[in-house]
Amino acid sequence: MSDLTSTRNDAIKCSAAKAIIDGLAPGGGLYVPTTIPCIHDDELSALQQLSYSDLSAHIISLFLTDFTKETIGQCTRAAYQNSFSVDNCMALKTVDGIHFAQLYHGPTYAFKDFALTLLPHLLTEAKRMQGVDQDSLILTATSGDTGKAALNGFADIMGCHVIVFYPQYGVSVIQQKQMLTQRGDNLQVIAIQGNFDDAQRAVKAALSDGDLIAQLQAYQMRFSSANSINYGRLLPQIVYYFYSYFELVRQSQITFGETVDFVVPTGNFGNILAGYYAKQMGLPIANLVCASNQNDVLTQFFTSGIYDSKRQFYTTISPSMDILVSSNLERLLYHISSGDTAKVSKWMHDLKNSGKFTLDSTEHAKLSDFVAYSADETQTRAAIKQLYDAHGYLVDPHTAVAYSCYQQYLSSGDSTRTAIVLSTASPYKFPRSVSQSIGLAVNNHDDYALINQLQLATNCPMPQYFSQLHMQPNQQGGICAIDAVKKTIIDYARSKR
């Protein structure tokens, strides 16, 4: 079975199972499906009846053709049937005519749970299929949400280990506590004495360190990836586009077949790329609105066809979107250039060497499924305040970026269609910036006090998890210097043998 190739080398043929195990393709490209499966209208209509878990199994099976449908169904049931706090994993809330798809009802309160509750099961199955009996060691550098979601997803999964490196002073108090309180004997959480870039660089260096790889082999371990470059993380995200659409039909907000727009808060381009796949598969989507924060490299790219990462980096209140090199864009480039891997290689080569690449007008024209806007910090805070003041609806800063971008899109006069805004995190994950934005006092309060104050002041539903978090005992903890990452990994591997 060889459904996949590399964005940078179409001589590479790979099965989905192998792609999930390996993460990155040889030579540094990303694995992509050579064709995107289509769903015809009758089939689409029938899918409306399915539960979230069954819909996932159906859609993911179309891509993972080397897995049996039955196996995928077991995986999606294990991931989705008990760990989310609402029926069918997500809720759709209409505020002022705009539909918010709340994707934050999973175990770690960010949308990354959709992929990271499922990936461990897919990876385990992929290893069984490929006869890989080494343990998988997953290294993750995190600026917040990915770390906790990966720890939670992989906790006590046999044959898998996760080491998360986070910048010592670079994640929120709540995010750090979420990671430190995670139980699991196959996990390690390490504060790195540096910033996120240092952590990311150290992890990347480790993943391609031949000596380290050989040492791990002696411990019967091999590296794997839970970052959004992993094909197994991309596919689960396609499903909530379908489910949101069907839910709007069920609520009689749209009629079946009507086109809608999706507004997507974007960082590494994984989430919105899944929307592009959904559209290619036949879901009636008109525009995908790419919403960026002050780091607006993608806004400029879609507008001009020039991707220029040589610019100032801003630390914002929507940290999961503070990204200048959006990895998954490479997959879109593969598709819009009709699989011209030589072209994609050249763009990626230009990006690496000069921080920049330029599409010609033919390819730029193929980006017409997307429109792009950005919101600066003032606009983001104003969006939180506006939604709260006018409608009593509380959103996190990432969702607020999307809402602000949607307002700009509306004023451009481009759309009269129904819009779905993907709401990617619980506002209670970011109590300080949310409280500040709606005018609550934040000085002299720690983040736990702010959570309670926010709940009392707004009366917005708060999961019990957040009120109890500060009382949970830490299960993890460790610190290392930037140049001690390799030693930390070897020590961990040795301790498990």
Ligand X SMILES: *Cc1c(COP(=O)(O)O)cnc(C)c1O
Q: Which residues contact 24 (CB under 8 A, 6 or more apart)?
A: 30, 225, 229
Q: Is residue 112 annotated as a catalytic residue, yes or no?
A: yes
In the complex with ligand X, the residue whose CB is nearer, 335 or 398, is 398
Asked if residue 172 binds ligand X (CB under 6 A), the reply is no
Spatial separation of the C-alpha atoms in residues 147 and 55, rounded to whole Å: 27
Sequence-ordered alpha helix ranges (H) in 29-87: 41-47, 52-63, 69-80
Tell the smallest beta-carbon distance from residue 70 to ligand X (Å): 29
Q: Which of 13, 93, 112, 177 is catalytic?
A: 112
In the complex with ligand X, the residue whose CB is nearer, 110 or 442, is 110
Tell the smallest beta-carbon distance from residue 229 to ligand X (Å): 11
* Nearest residue to 226 via CA among 212, 207, 210, 243: 207
* Nearest residue to 107 via CA among 470, 395, 488, 469: 469
In the complex with ligand X, the residue whose CB is nearer, 404 or 424, is 424
DSSP string of 62-108? HH-TTS-HHHHHHHHHHHHSSSSSSTTS-EEEEETTEEEEE---STT
Spatial separation of the C-alpha atoms in residues 44 and 38, rounded to whole Å: 10
Q: What angle do CA 103, 141, 119 make, to 5 degrees?
A: 50
Residues 464-483, mask of contacts with ligand X (x by CB under 6 A):
--------------------
Asked if residue 267 binds ligand X (CB under 6 A), the reply is yes
In the complex with ligand X, the residue whose CB is nearer, 50 or 263, is 263
Asked if residue 320 binds ligand X (CB under 6 A), the reply is yes
Among 31, 84, 242, 269, which residue interacts with ligand X (rule: CB under 6 A)? 269
Spatial separation of the C-alpha atoms in residues 233 and 122, rounded to whole Å: 10
- DSSP annotation of 241 reads H
* Nearest residue to 245 via CA among 39, 37, 494, 491: 39
* Nearest residue to 130 via CA among 155, 159, 154, 152: 159
Tell the smallest beta-carbon distance from residue 237 to ligand X (Å): 7
Tell the smallest beta-carbon distance from residue 112 to ligand X (Å): 5
Residues 210-249, mask of contacts with ligand X (x by CB under 6 A):
------------------x---------------------
Among 152, 181, 337, 424, which residue interacts with ligand X (rule: CB under 6 A)? 424
Binding residues with ligand X: total (CB under 6 A): 16
Q: What angle do CA 490, 491, 493 make, to 5 degrees?
A: 65
Among 16, 50, 297, 321, which residue interacts with ligand X (rule: CB under 6 A)? 321
Tell the smallest beta-carbon distance from residue 249 to ligand X (Å): 26
Asked if residue 106 binds ligand X (CB under 6 A), the reply is no
Residue type, 451: I
The catalytic residues are 112
User: Which residues of the shown chain bind ligand X in the complex (CB under 6 A)?
Assistant: 110, 112, 145, 228, 265-271, 320-321, 398, 424-425
